[in-house]
Chain A
Amino acid sequence: MNRSLRRRNALAIGAVRGMVLLLVALLVWIIVFMLIQGWGELTRGRFYTNVPNIGGPGSGVGPQLFNTVYVLVLSMLLALPIGLAGGIFFAEYAGTGRVTNLLRRASETLATLPSIVVGLFGYALFVQATHSHPSRLAAALSLTVINLPYVVRISEDALRALPPALREGSLGLGATRWQTVYKVLLPAALPALVTGVIITAGRVFGEAAAILFTGSNFSLTAHPNFSLSPFDSGDTLAVDLYVFRTQAEPAAVPDARQYADGVAALLVMAVLVFNVGARLLGRAAVRRLQRTA
């Protein structure tokens, strides 16, 4: 190898390493910065139990945390069966025809829609057209529109990643396509499905734009409740963060900034937990499948 080749090689490796380092540094910086900023709130016990109050100090995330989880679970309950069915269709039944391509293109386009547009659509359809008010259900439906293409994609990829030998082994024993999907492929794809779905849930956990339109009633104290009705309105953490940071009167709410920082830190932590939890659960599922001990 001549000198100039060697130097260019070293330069390229150096550049790649530098970029990776930059990426990691950026992530660490954001996380550490957020945690430091929000530490005071995160360690204040009332932060988790109080209700948010835009008229005075000492707000807490209690109902917002509950709403966020509520809306997330509801939207996942809606997105999972539909998305899984779509993924199974694309991976196992759809051929390579024009219609299939069109369907796949549609699903992928849906995934790229700005969430605020989805929120506006959700507002028009789930709130205005039904002559109702913003509610957890409307928010969950909008989140489902955002979720769905990801769940489809995750399911399709998880099924496609399985060795064809599994499919053939099952069909070779006289199983139907559906028996093969249901009894062999889905259980085998479970680790990838679990990981993918939880990471998608993490993304939705922090979604604000769609919920601003569909779930929020813009008056934080009106429904800061723990009711179980899907027809009650309810803000999520991300909406709360936005509202306090932009709308609170500094004179009335002197701690608005600290509170918002606390919510941001909580969101970052939650997303981290989702990611790490997804990997751990996925690995546990693989271990269960391959249990040899």
Chain B
Amino acid sequence: MTATERIGEPVALSPVPQPQPQSQPGHRSVELAPPADPMKMAVHNLHCYYGDFLAVRNVTLEVPERQITAIIGPSGCGKSTLLRTINRMNDLIPAFRATGSILLDGEDILGPQADPIGMRRRVGMLFQRPNPFPTSIFDNVAYGLRIAGRMPKKQLTETVERALERAALLDEVKDRMDRSALGLSGGQQQRLCLARALAVEPEVILMDEPCSALDPIATLRIEDLMRELSGTVTQVIVTHNMQQAARVSDATAFMLMGGGRAGELVEIGPTVELFRNPRDRRTEDYITGRFG
């Protein structure tokens, strides 16, 4: 059985032991996450196209609830496309389309009945570069709450402060909430964006290389926050930084550019397992630095 065939079925973190790939003789059976783990999201046979170009081929994976799932892989392997399809951010690209299904609590967000606006309130996103709005710190965090409907002033203030607290930013900004968010440092801006996402109490947060524009200290602060949030929020992080995936995530998915430059899922498993005993030869090559 080839790896390509294997990823066609939902191998991810399923309690059923997986067959050994032939390229890995003497490989142990993989210890998988506890079967009781509820799945927050499930991607089935997802294909993503930009016009005629197939960017992601037949990805099937599951995202366990209130854990951190990392997607790693070299540039151009479709990991960002996959992530941006999960909250339908790629709808903005005219020629983009996706087939297959993405279930959020069992409901297909790609289906004809799907409501991307309501869904994005449940599935927030943190971007590669901090993207605060050119308004005050307070207004940035309040934005998601205000567009969702009216809220009494007092409650709004409390919710904003709680979100900033959760993003470990409140102490640094509490005496300048009415100043422009653009005056904050890069790391602070990214934590502000996290607070902005957290304010609307999302169930899932997608992070697209959230630390790639940050210095090492700011990166560590974001990673600490991710660990603190796991247990309350489901997180999916795309990163090209393997150490980051190893440090923060509970499960890791490895993607690679396959035939026709289409991104494919090579394997997914508990992070410790994937890094210690990769099932696929290509994963091993990548994490040991033999390519990529």
Binds B, one of A9-17, A58-66, A116-124, A174-182: A174-182
**B residues near A188, Cβ cutoff 8 Å:** 133-134
- Check: A44 CB closer than 8 A to any chain B CB: no
Q: How far is the CA of A225 from the CA of B148 in the complex (A)?
A: 52
Contacts of B197 in A (CB 8 A): 172-173
Q: Is B131 an interface residue (CB 8 A)?
A: yes
**Distance from A113 Cβ to chain B, minimum over Cβ atoms (Å):** 31
Q: Which residues of A contact B183 (CB under 8 A)?
A: 290-292
Residue of A169, A173, A291 ringed by the most chain B CB atoms within 10 A: A173
Residue of B94, B134, B196 near A95 (CB, 8 A) is: B94
Q: At the interface, yes or no: A108 with Cβ under 8 Å from chain B?
A: no
**Which DSSP category, helix, strand, loop or mixed, fits chain B's interface?**
helix
A72 CA to B120 CA, complexed, in Å: 44
The reply to whether A292 and B179 form a contact with Cβ atoms under 8 Å apart is yes
Minimal Cβ-Cβ distance residue in B for A188:
B134
A187 within 8 A of B: yes
Residues of B within 8 A of A291 (CB): 179-180, 183
**Contact across chains for A165 and B147 when beta carbons are under 8 A apart:** no
B92-A174 in contact (CB<8A): no
Interface size counted on chain A using CB atoms at 8 A? 25
The B-contacting residues of A in range 151-174, CB under 8 angstroms, are 163-174
Could you tell me the distance between the alpha carbons of A272 and B197 in the complex, rounded to whole angstroms? 46
Closest chain-B Cβ to A27's Cβ sits at a distance in Å of 34
Minimum CB–CB distance from B150 to chain A (whole Å) comes to 14
For A176, list chain B residues within 8 Å (CB): 117, 147
Decide yes or no: A96 and B94 within 8 Å by CB, A168-B131, A174-B147, A290-B183 being known contacts. Answer: yes
Give, as a whole number of angstroms, the nearest-CB distance from A163 to chain B: 7
Q: Cβ of B147 and Cβ of A169 under 8 Å apart?
A: no
Is A183 on the interface with B (CB-CB < 8 A)?
yes
Complex interface: chain B residues within 8 A of A166 (CB): 131, 133
Q: Which residues of A contact B148 (CB under 8 A)?
A: 174
A184 within 8 A of B: yes
Q: Which residues of B contact A95 (CB under 8 A)?
A: 94
Cα-based distance from A171 to B94 in the complex (angstroms): 16
Residues of chain A with a CB closer than 8 A to B146's CB: 183
Are the CB atoms of A187 and B134 closer together than 8 Å? Answer: yes
A174 touches B180 (CB 8 A): no
Which B residues are in CB contact (< 8 Å) with A169? Answer: 127, 131-133, 193, 196
Cα A183 to Cα B147 in complex, Å, equals 9
List B residues 120-160 near A (Cβ within 8 Å): 120-121, 124-125, 127, 129, 131-135, 143-144, 146-148
Q: Does B177 contact A (CB under 8 A)?
A: no
In whole angstroms, how far apart are the Cα atoms of A165 and B210 in the complex?
13
For residue B41, which residues in chain A have a CB less than 8 angstroms away from its CB?
none
Q: A163-B131, A165-B129, A292-B180 are in contact. Are A173 and B143 (CB under 8 A)?
A: yes
Q: Say whether A179 contacts B125, CB under 8 Å.
A: no
Does residue B173 face the partner (Cβ distance < 8 Å to A)? no
When the two chains form their complex, are residues B89 and A290 in contact, meaning their CB atoms are under 8 A apart?
no
B134/A290 in contact, CB under 8 A:
yes
For residue A174, which residue of chain B has the nearest CB? B121
Contact check, A173 vs B120: say whether CB atoms are below 8 A apart. yes
Using an 8 Å CB-CB cutoff, how does the interface string of A251-293 with B read, 1 for contact, 0 for none?
A: 0000000000000000000000000000000000000011110
Given A292-B180, A292-B182, A174 and B118 touching (CB < 8 A)?
Answer: yes
With contact pairs A289-B180, A290-B182 given, residues A173 and B124 touching in the complex (Cβ less than 8 Å):
yes
Known: A169-B127, A172-B124. 15 other contacts (CB 8 A): A166-B131, A169-B196, A172-B87, A173-B124, A173-B196, A174-B117, A174-B119, A174-B148, A174-B200, A175-B143, A175-B147, A176-B147, A183-B143, A291-B179, A292-B179
14 contacts between A and B (CB under 8 A): A163-B131, A164-B92, A165-B127, A166-B131, A168-B131, A169-B193, A172-B197, A173-B147, A173-B197, A174-B117, A174-B144, A179-B147, A289-B135, A289-B180
Binding site for A on B (CB under 8 A): 87, 89, 92, 94, 117-121, 124-125, 127, 129, 131-135, 143-144, 146-148, 179-180, 182-183, 193, 196-197, 200
